[in-house]
Structure formats: structure tokens, C-alpha cells
């Protein structure tokens, strides 16, 4: 499997990074790659919650 993210640039600058997304590592960049729609929806919810928390949003 081969793939890339821009996180290596941030890591070289000393900025901690996390690579996060839907699916499993066994499917990532594989022939006929796919992700389950439920995993995509869950990943969006997690990312949105993290962004709102980071911005200090409170309900």
C-alpha cells in the first residue's frame, strides 16, 4: 500500500499530528478501496466535535 498525507510537513516543524479517517488500515489504498458509509458519517461527527471543542463552542 502506498499513500501520503501532508502531516509529515507538520511533524518536521515539531507540530504533533494525528492521522484520522473512516475505514480500516487493511482497506487503505488497496485495490478496490472502499469504506462503509456508517464509518464516514461517524468520522465526520468525531471531526466536527473535535473542531467545535477546539474552537471553544459550548451548547
Question: Domain ranges in the chain?
Answer: 7-54
Instruction: Give the pLDDT of residue 58.
Output: 77
Whole-number Å distance between alpha carbons of 27 and 8: 21
C-alpha cell at 29: 489504498
pLDDT of the residue at 43: 94
Give the model's pLDDT for residue 45. Answer: 97
Q: What is the pLDDT along the chain (59 residues), one digit of tens a residue?
A: 456 788 889 999 999 998 888 988 888 888 888 999 999 999 999 999 999 999 998 77
Quote the pLDDT of residue 55: 95
Number of helical H runs and strand E runs in the chain: 2, 0
Q: What pLDDT was estimated at residue 44?
A: 96
Amino acid at each position: 500500500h502506498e499513500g501520503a498525507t501532508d502531516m509529515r510537513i507538520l511533524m518536521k516543524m515539531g507540530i504533533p499530528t494525528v492521522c484520522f479517517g473512516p475505514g480500516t488500515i487493511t482497506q487503505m489504498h488497496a485495490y478496490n478501496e472502499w469504506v462503509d458509509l456508517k464509518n464516514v458519517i461517524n468520522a465526520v461527527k468525531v471531526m466536527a466535535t473535535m473542531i467545535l471543542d477546539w474552537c471553544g463552542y459550548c451548547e
